[in-house]
Amino acid sequence: MGIDWNKQRTTTVREKLLPAQDEARIIKQYGEAIRPVLDHLLDEKAAELANSYDASWRKLGEYLTAETREQTAQQLLSHEEVARMLGSSVATVKRMVQDGRLPKPVQISERRIGHRYADIKKLTGKDR
């Protein structure tokens, strides 16, 4: 039998909302008749907070994933890396650039160039 993660999460949030000693003090003060109402309110609020936490984590994950995709698209590749992606030689990559079959690389510095990863992926349809 597996662990019910949803129940465990709700229990953890519920404990943060009303620690056990505070719950015991309230029940002692107002009697056992208050327990069902207290349980219902705590469970409802704990589920609401847990769902809110989940939504926040999902949004963060989507943001980070989008940022990573953007960074990858902006990444620059050497002739050697492009040749590996295409399954060809560096000389072939250079000829393809000259022929216009590959987009011109970006000048990185005086002696270095790089092909945009997004351009190469668009042409090949495959990841490294």
pLDDT in tens, 101-112: 999 998 888 888
Cut 0.85: pTM above it: no
User: Please, are residues 35 and 27 in contact by the beta-carbon 8 Å criterion?
Assistant: yes
Q: Do 61 and 25 reside in the same domain of the chain?
A: yes
Q: Do 9 and 63 reside in the same domain of the chain?
A: yes
Asked if the model's pLDDT at residue 68 lies above 80, the reply is no
pLDDT in tens, 1-56: 567 777 787 788 888 899 999 999 999 999 999 999 999 999 899 888 888 888 88
Of 56, 73, 90, which residue constitutes the final position of a domain? Answer: 73
Residue 45, classed as helix, strand or coil, is: helix
Which of 30-34, 59-63, 116-120 has maximum average pLDDT? 30-34
Q: Do 59 and 94 reside in the same domain of the chain?
A: no
What's phi and psi for 108, nearest 5 deg? Answer: -90, -45
Number of domains in the chain: 2
Q: Do 64 and 13 reside in the same domain of the chain?
A: yes
Exposed (0-12), middle (13-18) or buried (19+): which is 9, by Cβ within 10 Å? middle
Give the structural domain span for 97: 75-124
